[in-house]
A and B are shown apart, each in its own frame.
Chain A
């Protein structure tokens, strides 16, 4: 039982995501899943394992290795009255479908003067940490967040893995879901009756008074660990999980920074031209005089992701670096 008395179950992020898809398929006959190896193989990361047996090949569709065609087909099917979930194995592969995502999914509502909306959900894996090198490990969700017309969400908790998909499917416009590959095996307790959650608001995952650690997706866990570590030195860190990168919940960020007066953004994307840069700019625009010192950022090193474990680890934002930077920031009084 959880603290609020609800019955809980032990579950993995992967299983929570699978439950979300299964639930959506049961609730709405217009929902179907298509992508590479989602059926017989069970999904590249085993997220859709068992769904083919339950729902059949019409609704769990294996596709050829044709990202542009099956993403575009998702757009067309959405306009034709279906509610497709398109799975792309990794964010790097999604680049083969950029034309469809950027030139069609994001534009058709506008180009048609509001006549054709695209109720499409695209799921893909993002992020590093599994020694998959430079063509399977990048974090390009910040890139996608640049584009008006689509929504970008990044479930980082079991509840969000379970609950964001249905809300995304109910949304009238294209929603891209970025699932950090390092999260699939994460296990924990989740309310047995967990259901749909909003896809608009950032969440305070830990309250604090000295510094705001602003992050999302695969680095949320690292930020929470860092906050735990900082607490041992009597530093009270607040952890903000953005959850949605577009539209960005600026107000929650500003509210947190107004409370703590210090902001450290942790982002697995590269630093230059990144979502962390955007967050930093918004804090500067709206909370400049509340800051005790400049916004700081911890991002991935600006290299294509290397294979060797020690190099990959050194390229990524790590808990120790968050702790160290936060300590220095709190030590510096404005």
Chain B
């Protein structure tokens, strides 16, 4: 069952709340367009939509600073967008165009961006965690006060790399903010069907890592939880673990008939749609009106239209360049 609605401890400033809503809407509309383009054959390969989970990326990303690092998973469109990777280079990447944020070498699952320190887009479940540990180790060894945020799903906790990374990060007191996006299903396998212990925070706590759950459908609560974790990590307290309890409204990927869950369950969760929760709260408080919403839709619609146009106009990398980027082009590190 979905968690019950909670009221965050302190209400954010109205402008900030509106921005949170707008950012969630950006992900939602962007991905709806992606799904449409996928059906139209413009985007191919595996594509995993984040719809339903927008509050996590939007909430968590608010607390990160420009020089912090992000390691994500194959369900990372939202992280990339909110981190500041331009929608047009993300879209071009999904088209496989060389103007894409990974030059068309990565696709939907492997969005990378040096400018915003987005280290992928990792499509091996659990495979990004050791990288986050290493990025944090480099910061610590070089005396830089930066944080690495590592996003992964609850499926990753079944992997050895999760446990090895938790232990190493805690042992070496590394500045990693572990952001577990618990959407209850590892592809089609429910958490209760794959874990003998379903309390994810307990697993992190067993490595002496401070851990707490948060309602992942409430963006304000997500931001609050992330800020709490960030401050602890940033002040040298070692890693933190936040379990964002969320839900994926769409199929796992574009090839999933969803035989493993009841439609009723999905409908129950949709009542707690993170956009609906925030929107109704703001409306109740008289902070949102129809004009605001219409303006958001217009602006976002224009941004997405521009992204699609950019991707359409993008160019295919010449086949002669196929073997570039296997090894570095300059000979020294």
Which residues of A come within 8 Å of B, CB atoms?
32, 58, 63-64, 66, 68-84, 99-100, 103-104, 108-117, 119, 148-149, 151, 169-173
Residues of A within 8 A of B106 (CB): 111-113
- Tell me if B73 counts as interface (CB < 8 A to partner A): no
8 of the cross-chain contacts (CB-CB < 8 Å) are A69-B168, A80-B69, A80-B142, A83-B333, A111-B120, A112-B106, A113-B112, A114-B328
A115 to B92 Cα, complex, angstroms: 16
Tell me the complex Cα distance, A71–B171, Å.
16
Contact among B129, B131, B325 with A114 in the assembled complex (CB-CB below 8 Å): B325
Are the CB atoms of B120 and A99 closer together than 8 Å?
no
* CB-CB under 8 A for A170 and B332, given A78-B134, A79-B138, A104-B122: yes
Q: Given A109-B327, A115-B102, A149-B327, is A73 in contact with B112 using a C-beta cutoff of 8 Å?
A: no
Report the Cα distance A256→B263, complex, angstroms: 69
**A68–B160 contact, CB under 8 A?**
yes
Interface status of B100 (Cβ within 8 A of chain A): yes
B131/A104 in contact, CB under 8 A: yes
CA distance A172 to B333 in the complex (A): 4
| Cα distance A149–B328 in the bound complex, in angstroms | 9
Contacts of A119 on B, CB cut-off 8 Å?
333
The 10 closest A-B pairs by CB, nearest first: A76-B134, A72-B130, A80-B138, A113-B103, A69-B164, A112-B112, A119-B333, A66-B164, A73-B134, A172-B328
Partner of B134, one of A79, A109, A117: A79
> How far is A75 from B114 in the complex, measured between Cα atoms in Å?
16
CA distance A116 to B325 in the complex (A): 10
Asked whether any CB of chain A lies closer than 8 Å to the CB of B15, the reply is no
Nearest-Cβ distance from residue A149 to partner chain B, whole angstroms: 6
A79 CA to B104 CA in the complex, in Å? 21
- Tell me the complex Cα distance, A172–B122, Å: 21
B31 within 8 A of A: no
Give CA–CA (A68, B163) in the complex, Å.
10
Closest chain-A Cβ to B112's Cβ sits at a distance in Å of 4
Q: Given A68-B164, A79-B131, A111 and B102 touching (CB < 8 A)?
A: yes
Q: Specify which chain A residues have a CB less than 8 angstroms from the CB of B324 in the assembled complex.
A: 114
Instruction: Please determine whether A72 and B165 come into contact, CB atoms closer than 8 angstroms.
Output: yes
Which A residues are in CB contact (< 8 Å) with B167? 64, 66, 69
A58 near B326 (CB under 8 angstroms)? no
Contact with A along B254-269 (1 / 0, CB 8 A): 0000000000000000
A149 and B327 CA atoms in complex are apart in Å by: 6
- State whether the Cβ of B10 lies closer than 8 Å to any Cβ in chain A: no
CB distance from A107 to the nearest CB of B (A): 9
Chain B residues, Cβ within 8 Å of A112: 102, 105-106, 110, 112, 114, 120, 325
Q: A72-B161, A73-B134, A111-B120 given. 19 additional CB < 8 A pairs?
A: A70-B130, A72-B134, A72-B165, A75-B130, A76-B131, A76-B137, A76-B138, A79-B131, A82-B141, A82-B142, A100-B130, A104-B124, A109-B326, A109-B328, A112-B106, A112-B112, A113-B106, A116-B114, A172-B327
Chain A residues, CB < 8 A from B114: 112, 115-116
Kindly state whether residue B121 has any CB partner on chain A within 8 Å. Answer: yes
B120 touches A148 (CB 8 A): no
Which residues from A are CB-within-8-Å of B328?
109, 114, 117, 172-173
Q: Which residues of A contact B178 (CB under 8 A)?
A: none
Which residues of B from 65 to 107 have beta carbons under 8 Å from A?
69, 71, 98, 100-106
In whole angstroms, how far apart are the Cα atoms of A115 and B324 in the complex?
Answer: 12
Q: Among the interface residues A71, A111, A172, which one has the most CB atoms of the partner chain B within 10 A?
A: A111
B220 at interface, CB cutoff 8 A: no
Contacts of A108 in B (CB 8 A): 112, 119-120
Given A76-B135, A99-B124, are A70 and B168 also a contact pair (CB < 8 Å)? yes
CA gap between A148 and B322 in the complex, in Å: 13
Query: How far, in Å, is A97 (CB) from chain B's closest CB?
Result: 9
Q: Is B291 an interface residue (CB 8 A)?
A: no
B113 in the interface, Cβ–Cβ < 8 Å? yes
Instruction: Give Cα A324 to B11, complex, Å.
Output: 85
- Least CB distance from A89 to B in Å reads 16
A159 to chain B, nearest CB (A): 22
Q: How far is the CA of A210 from the CA of B135 in the complex (A)?
A: 53
**CB of B4 within 8 Å of the partner chain:** no
List residues of chain A with CB within 8 A of the CB of B102: 111-113, 115
**Bound complex: CA of A218 vs CA of B22, how far in Å?**
63
In the assembled complex, how far is the CB of residue B136 from the closest CB belonging to chain A, in whole angstroms? 7
Report whether A76 and B130 are in contact in the complex, using a CB–CB cutoff of 8 Å. Answer: yes
A150: nearest chain-B partner, CB-CB:
B327
Alpha-carbon distance between A116 and B98 when the two chains are bound, in angstroms: 16
Does chain A have a CB within 8 A of B9? no
* Distance of B274 from chain A, by nearest CB (Å): 30
Cβ of B289 within 8 Å of any chain A Cβ, yes or no, is no
A151 to B160, CA, bound (A): 27
Give the chain A neighbours of B119 by CB distance below 8 A. 76, 79, 108, 116
Contacts of A81 in B (CB 8 A): 138, 142
Residues of chain B contacted by A58 (CB below 8 angstroms): 141
- Give Cα A99 to B114, complex, Å: 23
- Which residues does chain B contribute within 8 Å of A116, judged by CB atoms? 112, 114, 119
Is B132 at the interface (CB under 8 A from chain A)? yes
Which of A69, A113, A151 interacts with B104 by CB under 8 Å?
Answer: A113
The residue on A at minimum CB distance from B104 is A113
Do A73 and B160 form a contact, CB below 8 Å, given A109-B327, A112-B110, A114-B324? Answer: no
Nearest chain B residue, comparing its CB with the CB of A59:
B141
Known pairs A66-B168, A76-B130, A172-B328; A111 contacts B112 (CB<8 A): yes
Chain A residue contacts of B285, Cβ below 8 A: none
Chain B positions within 8 Å of A75 at CB level: 130-131, 134
Q: Are the C-beta atoms of B136 and A76 separated by less than 8 Å? A: yes
The yes or no answer to B133 lying at the interface (CB within 8 A) is yes
Given known A64-B171, A69-B164, A170-B332, contact A113–B141 (CB-CB < 8 A):
no
Specify the chain B residue showing the minimal Cβ separation from A108: B120
Q: How far is the CA of A72 from the CA of B110 in the complex (A)?
A: 17
Chain B residues near A73 (CB-CB < 8 A): 130-131, 133-134, 137, 168
